[in-house]
Amino acid sequence: MKKLVILSGAGMSAESGIKTFRDAGGLWEGHDVMEVASPEGWRKNQALVLDFYNQRRRQLFEVNPNQGHIIVAELEKDFEVHIITQNVDDLHERAGSTNVLHLHGELLKARSVHNENDIVEWKTDINVGDLHTDGYQLRPHIVWFGEMVPAIADAMDIVKEADYIIIIGTSMQVYPAAGLVDYVKPTAPIFYIDPNPASIPYLSNSIDVVPMTASEGMAVVRERLRKS
């Protein structure tokens, strides 16, 4: 099977009702991003940060995968599919995808503030005073601004081996995720699905821009892949 790598961002889940990062009225509405998504914000006000992510986690149980997620999962019948997502939701998995790498963490996991590798499944609220088994406070398993992205090395290795790349719902402007396209083989075609696609300069690859939503665009790209 050919290796198909999906790079997905906030636009992938927007149709499911999860607010996007940069849009007006988006995820950070009412909060300076550094208040709720940085180590400094955490040290300043743990209760605020926990409440912010508790609300995001609760919302996950009110939404469902959209047709874009479902088509991506169905492509596993014909390709070796690997998903590298900037999203912290579990909609790819719920749609049936089996190889999902979360660059920025996962809402349905928590970890010890003492050891970033002490990760546990977590589907309810996290409150101040909720401790890991090691006796330290639990925090969301989310990569905040200013923190390392532990999964980026694995993501690079996956991208290097791709026969096809599909970029869905991301501006490819936020690093280190944006740098992943630099590791794509020059012979690998790239499909870029986004209603408002950004430019991706400096690449010699064939880039097929599909200015549509995730669901609409994946239906189009699925047919183009079948003909390739």
- The model's pLDDT over 99-151, given as tens digits with 9 standing for 90+, comes to 999 999 999 999 999 999 999 999 999 999 999 999 999 999 999 989 999 99
pLDDT at 21: 52
Confidence check: pLDDT of 82 > 70? yes
Indicate the average pLDDT of the chain.
92
Q: Which residue has the higher pLDDT, 53 or 173?
A: 53
β-pair partners for 165? 5, 190
Using 50, 70 and 90 to split pLDDT, how confident is the model at 26? very low
Distance from chain centroid for Cα 69: 12
Instruction: Report the predicted TM-score, pTM, of the whole model to 2 decimal places.
Output: 0.93
Instruction: Count Cβ neighbours within 10 Å for each residue of 80-90 and write b for 16 or more, e otherwise.
Output: ebbbbbbbbbb
Confidence check: pLDDT of 213 > 80? yes
What angle, 0 to 180 degrees and rounded to 10, lies between the N-to-C axes of helices 67-74 and 214-227?
A: 20
Using only C-alpha atoms, the chain has a radius of gyration, in whole angstroms, of 18
Which of 85, 99, 121, 79 minimizes the C-alpha distance to 13?
Answer: 85
Cα distance between residue 82 and residue 76, in whole Å = 9
Cα distance between residue 125 and residue 57, in whole Å = 8
Q: Is 104 known to be catalytic? A: yes
Confidence check: pLDDT of 19 > 80? no
**Is 72:97 a contact under the CB 8 Å cutoff?**
yes
Cα distance between residue 195 and residue 187, in whole Å = 25
**Is 165:190 a contact under the CB 8 Å cutoff?**
yes
**Is 72:84 a contact under the CB 8 Å cutoff?**
no
pLDDT at 28: 58
Half-sphere exposure of 153 (CA within 13 A, CB side): 2
Q: Which of 102, 104, 132, 141 is catalytic?
A: 104
What is the three-class DSSP state of 228?
coil
